[in-house]
Structure 1
Amino acid sequence: METGIDYGEFESGRHVNYWELDRTLQRELRRVTDTETFEWAEPRLAEFGELIGHTVADNADYVDDHGPELETYDEYGDVQNFVRYPAEQLANEAAVYEAGIVADAFEAPPGRDEPVPFSQYLATLQLLCYADAGFGCPVAMTAGSALVLERFDDGELEPYYRGLVSRDYDGLIEGAMFLTEEQGGSDVGANETTARYDEAADCWRLTGEKWFCSNVDAEGTLALARTEDAPAGTDGLSMFLVPHGDPDEGVMTKGDRRAFEGAPPGDALNDQLYRRLKDKLGTTAVPTGEVEFEDTKAYLVGEQEAGFKQMTEMLNLERLSNAAASCGIMGRALLESRVKAANREAFGKPIEEFPLMREDLVDMTVDYEAATAYVHEVGRLFSERERARRTDESSDELEDTYRLLRLLIPIAKLRTGRMAVDTASYAMEIQGGNGYVDDFVTNRLLRDAQVLPIWEGTENILSLDVVRALEREDAHEPFMRAVEDRLEAVDHPALADAAETVETAYEELLGALAELAEADGEYAQLSAKRLSHYVFEVFTAALLLAEAQSDLEDGNGRTAMVARRFVTTELAERDGRGITGGDRFVLEAFEPIVHHAPVDPETVSETVTADD
């Protein structure tokens, strides 16, 4: 059995192996991956965790102070759309992409006969975001772009797909999605960008403006536009791939761009204008700008007027990626907090020994465990669906998986984005005044976290998507089976009280769902956000209890403590807000939960929860 982690050995959450220190991520990936794949992946994840904890983390701090700069025009006033990157960022890109963070999920890596599950992509992205959530954005969009071309391209864009999934940095192209327009925002159907077919050039030409364009100079950008005579709203949108380079000259890769030793000449570029970069609060590593298309060359992806459907498939992976990034920020914030609390002394002892700090660290840990468990369970379902799609499998079970994903994915992004902000904010407080200073990483973690509730749909937009999933997909049916199957598997005495609380909350949730099914649309919208959080809490509680049951059977009671604390804080009714009950759980469970000390299953039921 593993021993606990002594965080007092570390000076900070830097120059360490993030994979080896994240036993929560290890447990979840082991749970959702078959044994053979996990054993193949584990040494690679350890190597990746070492890379991120040293080289990438160091470079990320430099990039935050010296981010990309846009030079729209050359000295003669000609458009060059040149984004100048610090060498440290280019080094991070080469190291991370060549480690297979995107490629391995689409093309079989060396030593395997098939691609790895998307669960491993999410795990590597989570580790990357320990160091730089800004860089996580281009990685996620590259994966999303590859998914769209894999799904919908008829073969015409094969060279671009090959670039998106390249393991060789010189052969790589990064992806981006230019969806947002100033007048539309989240109302994608209000997009005004138009597309006309140019027979002479044998390509489409886009005209319009895109307002919030992250990874602005990506070599292969997906954009929505409306073709001539297409209907209004989302039904009339088509998806196009817009190259950075002039498509008549072939695919411009990272290696091609480096060969210019500076800005490529204007005639090597596609016709578009990168107007300016946004002066953002955080995520400095990813340049976000405004783009004007004017007869810009583009390629249609798949069928006309199928753009919105293609976008939603892409958003499923993008939103999961956002949730994994949230977990990465939470994990780093938690690590920095654990190290600080173990080393900082006040009044003659480490601050982790004080009851209030113990409660804070226990609850930050439980939040991280809950977020990671939820995200990787949804990642498991996503991986299963993509594997079946690639092999042309179909079944009622896979249809249920799709319906369940329609419910769980927006909630994954909705809840974890908010949790990342809260966790990063409190991690700053644990650092004291240093946490507010640019020289310390918690400052950047909070700035980067703040965009996660915004990217890929705000909390309100996602909540309305949850209501649509329930109304149109009957997503409550597979959800009910998923919760009930897990609760039925829980029978250990140490989990009995918590399981009873979850069962009661589950029945109340079903009552809320039934009432909303009969309510008018306005009231359903008003309740959407509360409902989304309720679904997260019940599903995650059932998931953690099922994991705790399995771990107890395998001889470790730690997950049981995590599950019980989550149920208590999120679902249980506590008299006097927990003050009058004499609850001392966090004091007794601090070492197992925060330091990952092993727990004998026979002692879990004896954990003190109240004074007799």
Structure 2
Amino acid sequence: MLSYSEHDEGRGMNYWEVDPALRDEVQRVYTDDEYRWAEERLSRFGELVGERVADNSDTIDDSPPSLETYDRYGDIVNRVGYHPAQKENDRTAYENGAVADSFDAPDGRGEPMPLTHSLAHYYLICYCDIGLACSVSMTGGAALVLEQCDDEGRHDGVFGDLTARDLGELRQGAMFLTEEQGGSDVGANETIAEPTGEEGVYELTGEKWFCSNIDAGAALVLARRPDAPEGTDGLSLFVLKQDDELRESGDVYYRRLKDKLGTKSVPTGEVELRGARARLVGEPERGFRYMTEMLNYERLTNAVGSCGTMARALLESKVHAADREAFGKPIERYPLMKKDLVDMTVTHETATAVSFEAADALNAYVRDQDDEAYRAMRVLVPVAKYRTGEDAVEMASYAMEVLGGNGYVEEFVTERLLRDVQVTPIWEGTSNILALDVLRGMAKEGAHTDILDRIDGYLDEAEHEAVASVAETVAGARDELEEVMNDVATAGVDRAQLRAKDLADLIYDVYASALLVSEAERDARNGDGRKALVARRFVDRNLGDGRITDDTPLKRYEEIAKYGTVDVEEL
């Protein structure tokens, strides 16, 4: 079991080593060969994040990036200033392969690692700083677009810059998508792309309203060419190479940085494009489709990042509960605190499982062109992003409560965790947008049948008597899910949309339960019943009748919350 009483707070430690849920899911979705190669490296990265990035992130939050639009002579410079700690965090992330390993074969391997490898790094970064993770995520997302959609763009050097292992050679990525008048309605974008006479090069004119990582060296921009149709069909994708010469020309103008609640380490601002030269990516009629490649990846990083922040909130709560005495004993020994920490552990463990399941589906679609994985991804990605964002906000908030008044004070990390993670239900699509995307995946791709098939496959694995009763409950919920899916599919548009979020919640609960059953079966065959307890607890809370009367948190607190083993015969 893990011991939390030996720590004063959740830093100065190896986050990989203190997170069995992450290790379990990474090992599950990697091949044996990939995991053997990656385990030591992820452990080293978890140590760097816990011992270096954690402290730097607090420093950067106190001294966030600042914008100098003009120099003292009144000339445009568009310069973003950073605290030296930001450069050290960037170096830690990029030079340890957080992006590069998934696109360029690292030392000791003949081919790149799967996309899930970058997501594991992203998860660990989010123990400390979602803002840093945002820039890493968009750099990987931009590289993914060019890898999949644009050979010419790769040969132009941008792909190599995005996947560089040396910080001095790296171009970070960004996505200039949102416009003030459009927001989630991307088809309303008004930015214009005028041809220059040079093949593939256009001049962009317009305004982008929310540009995170505003000064990134390679920004993907959506714009409309002359005579292109309205809506998303008329949008083309361009790569804007930002350097000092471009910024000082005034063709790109940083109007201001947003004063955000959190994620202060990544500068987010408003950009005016004043004839900025950019290169067309791929086929001009497929710009929005290309951007959805990045959007799916970003939604996954959002989900995985939410899990990383949950892990930190949970870690801080467990350390405090083990150390803080009230009325003569540590507060972790009181029944209500045991219940809360057990349920927080189950929530985090489940979210991590579903997020890496979705990540594995995305990787299979992108790298192997797996059609079934694509259809499953169309539902799993928005569902995972929706629920993990909601759960992360709730858990960060409760971690503040566990710490009491200290949790509300800036010297303790929990208040920043809450400020930072509050963006995760907003980034890359709000809960309403995600729920509607689930409906689109069902209507256009028939994705719900693949989700049901996967659920059936996991439930079919349940044979051990410690798991079978839970599987039976999940099977009943699976049938209910199919009925709801069919009802929504045959309802009118308004009725279907009215039920979209309830459907997304039910998909998450049933799919997660089946996945936990599968994992519990695997461990039970090896003699460990802990995961069966986790599955039971999740199913009772999310698929039961609301009357939870078992005393598992009293009997099994140590095993669940501190990741001990359970003799499966006892169950």
Question: Shared fold by TM > 0.5?
Answer: yes
Matched AA of 2:175 = M
Alignment partner of 1:109 is 2:111: no
The aligned counterpart of 2:554 is: 587
The aligned counterpart of 1:525 is: 497
Matched AA of 1:371 = A
CA-CA distance at 1:499 after TM superposition: 1.3
Q: Map of 1:204-353 to 2, 5 A cutoff? A: 204-245=202-243, 264=244, 271-353=251-333
Identity %: 52
CA deviation profile, 1:107-143 (whole Å, cap 9, x unmatched): 1001100111111111111001101111000100000
Alignment partner of 1:186 is 2:189: no
CA deviation profile, 1:436-466 (whole Å, cap 9, x unmatched): 1111100000000100000000000000000
The aligned counterpart of 2:24 is: 27
CA-CA distance at 1:491 after TM superposition: 1.6
For this pair of structures, how many residues does the alignment match? 570
Q: Choose from 421, 426, 429 the match for 2:401.
A: 429
Matched AA of 2:361 = L
The aligned counterpart of 2:568 is: 601
TM-score for both structures, normalised by structure 1: 0.92
Alignment partner of 1:37 is 2:34: yes
- Between stretches 348-357 and 73-82, larger displacement belongs to 73-82
CA-CA distance at 1:337 after TM superposition: 0.4
Q: Map of 1:342-491 to 2, 5 A cutoff? A: 342-389=322-369, 398-491=370-463
Q: 1:353 to 1:157 in 2, by over 3 A?
A: same
Q: Following the alignment from structure 1 to structure 2, what is the Cα–Cα distance between the partners of residues 266 and 128? A: 31
CA-CA distance at 1:157 after TM superposition: 4.3
Q: Map of 1:13-24 to 2, 5 A cutoff? A: 13-24=10-21
Q: 1:572 to 1:294 in 2, by over 3 A?
A: same
Q: Following the alignment from structure 2 to structure 1, what is the Cα–Cα distance between the partners of residues 400 and 145? A: 38
The aligned counterpart of 2:475 is: 503
Matched AA of 1:437 = V
- Between stretches 439-448 and 485-494, larger displacement belongs to 485-494
Q: Following the alignment from structure 1 to structure 2, what is the Cα–Cα distance between the partners of residues 554 and 134? A: 40
Alignment partner of 1:557 is 2:554: no
8 Å CA contact 2:174, 2:216 repeated in 1: yes
CA deviation profile, 1:568-606 (whole Å, cap 9, x unmatched): 0000114xx33xx4x211111211110111111111x2x
Matched AA of 2:511 = F
CA-CA distance at 1:202 after TM superposition: 7.0
CA-CA distance at 1:30 after TM superposition: 0.8
TM-score for both structures, normalised by structure 2: 0.98
The aligned counterpart of 1:570 is: 542
8 Å CA contact 1:206, 1:296 repeated in 2: yes
8 Å CA contact 2:177, 2:221 repeated in 1: yes
Q: Following the alignment from structure 1 to structure 2, what is the Cα–Cα distance between the partners of residues 155 and 556? A: 52
CA-CA distance at 1:401 after TM superposition: 1.1
Structure 1 unmatched runs, 5+: 246-263, 390-397, 606-612
Q: Choose from 54, 59, 67 the match for 1:57.
A: 54
8 Å CA contact 1:79, 1:266 repeated in 2: no
Alignment partner of 1:82 is 2:54: no
Matched AA of 1:592 = E
CA-CA distance at 1:56 after TM superposition: 0.6
8 Å CA contact 1:490, 1:545 repeated in 2: yes
Q: 1:201 to 1:153 in 2, by over 3 A?
A: closer
- Between stretches 420-429 and 33-42, larger displacement belongs to 33-42
CA deviation profile, 1:16-53 (whole Å, cap 9, x unmatched): 00000001101111111111110110000110000000
Q: Following the alignment from structure 1 to structure 2, what is the Cα–Cα distance between the partners of residues 511 and 598? A: 38
Pairwise CA RMSD of aligned residues? 1.2
CA-CA distance at 1:353 after TM superposition: 0.3
The aligned counterpart of 1:393 is: none
8 Å CA contact 2:247, 2:253 repeated in 1: no
CA-CA distance at 1:154 after TM superposition: 2.9
- Between stretches 398-407 and 460-469, larger displacement belongs to 398-407
CA-CA distance at 1:385 after TM superposition: 2.2
Alignment partner of 1:492 is 2:472: no
8 Å CA contact 2:212, 2:266 repeated in 1: yes
